[in-house]
Structure 1
Amino acid sequence: MNSYKELKVWQSAIELAVICYETTGEFPKDELYGLTSQMRRAAVSIAANIAEGHGRESTGSFVQFLRVSQGSLKEFETHLVIAHRVGILPAEQFQKLIRHSDEIGKMIRALIRRLQEKS
């Protein structure tokens, strides 16, 4: 694989970040520096760490950055739960984002396993 842009997990993480921006754009303005900012940063970090790790050209570094990406994903999921529980994220959007997040988590774990088997 020549480019991180070819990775389905990266493409899916980009899609999640875009959906996150659209969703948080509907949040109350008083959340701009709270959950809105935190969710956007975590969502963007998922794809960014996949790209950065791929660019390191070392399997060990790539795995390390994939694990950081996993951490950002879990952070994002935590923000989703909070946003839903405080009533600013409707159940339908919450379920959509959680499902998408779960799929990305599975892809990251599978990629880590595949990379570790090769090394």
Structure 2
Amino acid sequence: MDFEKLLVWQRGKKLAVEMYRAFAHCRDLGFKSQLTRAAVSVPANIAEGMERRSEREKAWFLSVAKAPCAELRTHLIIAAEIGYLPVEPADNWINETRELSRMLAGLINRISN
């Protein structure tokens, strides 16, 4: 299956683009770097995993994609609390990371069984 056709990859990529745009003018370069690297890591690991030959490798990389999803969620929670983001978009993005994590878990289960 082409990874570009996976809804979880499409949504992860969209979220990464939104993070780059939302933090384009953030002067806290360390925070911005950590957040954007976590964001881009989600779809990148999905893509890498889906290009692997074995189901075991695919499932492993999808599991790897879940970790930066949680990291991104943490950065977004902090960004909202310290005033880097308004509450509404932060909450929407936080919920999207939760949904992406659930989608990844479902895909891992499907591939593993």
TM-score category (smaller protein): over 0.9
Match of 1:68 in 2: 64
Distance in 2, Cα, partners of 1:57 & 1:102: 28
Unaligned runs of 5+ in 1: none
Give 2:94's aligned amino acid.
I
Distance in 2, Cα, partners of 1:53 & 1:17: 18
Aligned with 1:105 (options 90, 96, 101):
101
Distance in 1, Cα, partners of 2:8 & 2:39: 13
Give 1:93's aligned amino acid.
P
With normalisation by structure 1, the TM-score equals: 0.90
Name the SS for the 1:87 alignment partner: coil
Match of 2:5 in 1: 6
Unaligned runs of 5+ in 2: none
Distance in 1, Cα, partners of 2:24 & 2:55: 37
Number of residue-to-residue matches in the alignment:
113
With normalisation by structure 2, the TM-score equals: 0.95
Q: 1:81 Cα deviation (Å)? A: 1.2
Cα RMSD between the aligned structures? 1.0
Distance in 2, Cα, partners of 1:21 & 1:115: 31
Distance in 1, Cα, partners of 2:15 & 2:25: 16
Match of 1:83 in 2: 79
Name the SS for the 1:22 alignment partner: helix
Distance in 2, Cα, partners of 1:46 & 1:65: 10
Q: Which of structure 1's runs of 4+ aligned residues deviate more than 3 A?
A: none
Distance in 2, Cα, partners of 1:91 & 1:26: 18
Aligned with 1:42 (options 24, 33, 38):
38
